[in-house]
Amino acid sequence: MGIAERKQRQLEEVRATILEQSWQIVEEEGWEALSIRKIADAIEYSTPVVYKHFESKDAILEAFSREGYSRLADALTEAQASQTSPARRLEAISEAYWQFAQEHPKHYQIMYGLGIPTCQMIRDIPEIGQVSALLHSAIDDAVKSAADHEVDIHLKATTFWSILHGLVAMTMIAAPGGPQMARRTLDDAVQGFIKALLT
């Protein structure tokens, strides 16, 4: 291995260590507690070393957000592929979305810290675009099988994503009736959405 390759590998290892320690801080104290100084102390390097890899705390959070959206896109892709009927696909996507949020709450909070992603964020972060495209595709498939083809796909995809995100967020902030009631509400909302979309 040459000097350049060794240096590159060391840089990648330091970057991975920064992310690993950052995630540990997020897990233990919440993402609000994350700071460049705290990361530097945890990895026993100076703050300039952290800044060499990430220009700010926001850049680290963006890395976690990208990772989360990539995992979510994988889960939704698998769910969509598991069903052939458009209605069942939407149900499977809803279930996979819910499960992702339950199994990865810290990622979910970072991904949606400021609510539904803006159009600019979708353009800037390809992983968000993946999730958005998958939701649009599932809605488009459902509309093609419906009687009314004159539907605003973007509006319906945004509505569907809002239903999923809103009810997951309610659960995370202790919705009245607890997680079971939030889950029942999600199922009811998704069934109502699918019925309205397909009739």
Asked whether residue 20 carries a pLDDT value surpassing 90, the answer given is yes
Model confidence pLDDT, tens digit, residues 83-110:
999 999 999 999 999 999 889 988 888 8
CA dihedral 184, 151, 129, 172 (to 10 degrees): -20
Q: What is the mean pLDDT of residues 152-176?
A: 79
- The reply to whether 11 and 103 lie within a common domain is no
Q: What is the pTM of this model?
A: 0.71
- The reply to whether 28 and 97 lie within a common domain is no
Minimal CA–CA distance to 125: which of 198, 42, 68, 182? 68
User: Which of the residue ranges 11-15, 30-34, 195-199 has the most confident prediction, judged by mean pLDDT?
Assistant: 11-15
CATH number at 84 reads: 1.10.357.10
- The pLDDT value given to residue 83: 95
Distance CA 180, CA 17 (A): 38
CATH number at 42 reads: 1.10.10.60
Q: Rounded to 5 degrees, what are φ and ψ at 91?
A: -65, -45
Q: What is the mean pLDDT of residues 160-186?
A: 76
- The reply to whether 68 and 12 lie within a common domain is no
- The reply to whether 78 and 165 lie within a common domain is yes
- The reply to whether 31 and 76 lie within a common domain is no
- The reply to whether 31 and 80 lie within a common domain is no
- The reply to whether 37 and 83 lie within a common domain is no
- The pLDDT value given to residue 158: 86
| Structure token digits, residue 193 | 């959405």
The position carrying tokens 């590159």 is 8
Asked whether residue 163 carries a pLDDT value surpassing 80, the answer given is yes
Q: What is the mean pLDDT of residues 14-36?
A: 88
- The reply to whether 68 and 49 lie within a common domain is no
Could you give the number of structural domains in the chain? 2
Domain boundary among 18, 34, 55: 55
- The reply to whether 75 and 105 lie within a common domain is yes
The amino acid present at 193, given as its one-letter code, is F
| Structure token digits, residue 139 | 């809605």
- The pLDDT value given to residue 167: 79
- The reply to whether 18 and 111 lie within a common domain is no
- The reply to whether 138 and 194 lie within a common domain is yes
- The reply to whether 26 and 102 lie within a common domain is no
Give residue 124's domain range: 64-198
